[in-house]
Chain A
Amino acid sequence: MKLTLKIWRQKSANDKGKIVDYKLDDVSPDMSFLEMLDVLNQELIDKDEEPIAFDHDCREGICGMCSMYINGRAHGPDRSITVCQLHMRSFSDGDTIYIEPWRASAFPVIKDLIVDRTAFDRIQQAGGFISVNTSGNTQDANSIPISKYAADDAMDAATCIGCGACVATCKNSSAMLFVGAKVSQYALLPQGQIEAAERVQNMVSQMDLEGFGNCTNTGACEVECPKGISLDNIARMNRELMKATVK
């Protein structure tokens, strides 16, 4: 396959940045998208040029690092995948592919395709946990009966890998799918009930503080989420916050 790549290059957070065109011949359809970028980077290194900086880690769709906006969509054209799970067979010979970093004021570009997603960490630190005494006398979690439905929904919410595709794809750069998932994961389980009210209030106010936008229920996040996190989690977060407010 021959490809034309239009890739966002930006030297540093303060650099203005621009789209740069690259030509790549001999791309195998069996390559993953990241392997294709590895090949391009090797060519750039051989030519003594600066390779393209991009986030990646596990390359098996679980770490949430590979954050790229490919041809106008978070993680590219296929559904329920991260970029490392996207293969070049999803493209055709002669294609032009746009590769851009996540765009949101709360996710500033660090370099090229790498953005600063520590805003998610700070939201998580604001309440995405349960306080458990781990001194050795902790109760076995399996000894607390939990309905199958609640357990399944909590597990579905917990599959969020915090990649930020929801924010990247949202026309409002809202982080509500991420925060909704993190709130729901605990709200559905008895262990999460004790701190439920403070958790949702603290996480939502941290989310607002970080400069994420306001959700308008377009549902784009749910479609682009590599883990298929449902909008129901946002509805649940809304309920939890209303409940916490009237309490």
Chain B
Amino acid sequence: MGGFFKSSIGRKVAMALSAFFLMFFLIIHLAVNITSVFSEASFNELAHFMGTNPLVQFALQPVLIFGVVFHFVMGFILEIKNKKANGVNYAKNNGAANSTWMSRNMIYSGLAILAFIVLHFIDFWIPELNTKYVVGDMSGMHLGEFRYYQELVEKFHSHIRTIAYVLAFILLGLHLAHGFTSAFQSMGVTAGRKKTLQNIGKGYSIIIPLGFIIIALYHHLKYVLS
């Protein structure tokens, strides 16, 4: 088994498995966040549950962190190995003739997403960890009310942050446009070639980023227009 994950195919299977977990996580994350557009109370309840539930915090969260770190570290390793396998570059190469821009630039869309994750962690995750586990305030309250909705809304007052988030989600969409079907292909699903899975992939790679974009724009515009 150890030999399997050292092989080129094992590595792509590992890439796909971590991708599946991350794609599942994106659905959950969007489902929670989209409630902030409809109901402040529901968002607060859900955020408090996700932030304090031991199963989420101490079982799923470490797996998620491992998944994220593994996916991008392995992505870098593969990119370096592939560059080495490439040897001399062509004087003229027409990549657009046989493959999509997304498929040829996963490393760049991936790097943009990584940069976004750093920003996102500084914005939300690190302050959250600080409040809960360093300060030790697990109540989720601030001035007698749940603080989550307020914290979210405040972040989207900034034009620059909103633009950065929207751009990152567009790049996430491009990453997923190739990544979704690619993960299935890596796992040996020949049906990845068939219409249904490709259509699900298209839908997923549009709906998920669009959902996040709507949330960011909604809170930003609500603030700007008020």
0/1 string, B1-23, CB within 8 A of A gives 1 = 10110011111110000000000
Question: Is B129's beta carbon under 8 Å from chain A?
Answer: no
**Given the complex of chains A and B, what is the CA–CA distance between A242 and B100 in angstroms?**
28
**Given the complex of chains A and B, what is the CA–CA distance between A74 and B37 in angstroms?**
51
Is B86's CB under 8 angstroms from A237's CB?
no
Chain B residues bordering chain A, tally (CB within 8 A):
43
Question: Is A117's beta carbon under 8 Å from chain B?
Answer: no
Is B90's CB under 8 angstroms from A72's CB?
yes
**Given the complex of chains A and B, what is the CA–CA distance between A231 and B197 in angstroms?**
15
0/1 string, B199-214, CB within 8 A of A gives 1 = 0000000000000000
Q: Quick one: which of A63-91 are within 8 Å of B by CB?
A: 69, 71-73, 77
**Given the complex of chains A and B, what is the CA–CA distance between A71 and B95 in angstroms?**
11
Is A232's CB under 8 angstroms from B98's CB?
no
Q: Quick one: which of A193-235 are within 8 Å of B by CB?
A: 204-205, 207-208, 211-220, 223-224, 230-232, 234-235
8 Å CB contact of A104 from B1, B78, B85, B178: B85
**Given the complex of chains A and B, what is the CA–CA distance between A218 and B188 in angstroms?**
15
Is B188's CB under 8 angstroms from A239's CB?
yes
Is B91's CB under 8 angstroms from A218's CB?
no
Categorize the interface residue count of chain A. Answer: 35 or more
Is A213's CB under 8 angstroms from B7's CB?
no
Q: Which residues of A contact B (CB under 8 A)?
A: 6, 8, 19, 69, 71-73, 77, 98, 100, 103-108, 169, 171-174, 176, 204-205, 207-208, 211-220, 223-224, 230-232, 234-239, 241-242, 245
The 10 sampled A-B contact pairs (Cβ below 8 Å) are A72-B93, A72-B94, A72-B97, A98-B91, A105-B86, A171-B95, A204-B7, A214-B12, A216-B82, A238-B13
A19-B91, A103-B90, A242-B13 provided; 6 other pairs, C-beta below 8 A?
A103-B88, A103-B89, A104-B87, A217-B103, A232-B190, A232-B193
Q: Which residues of B contact A (CB under 8 A)?
A: 1, 3-4, 7-13, 78, 81-82, 84-95, 97-100, 103-104, 106, 178, 181-182, 185-190, 192-193
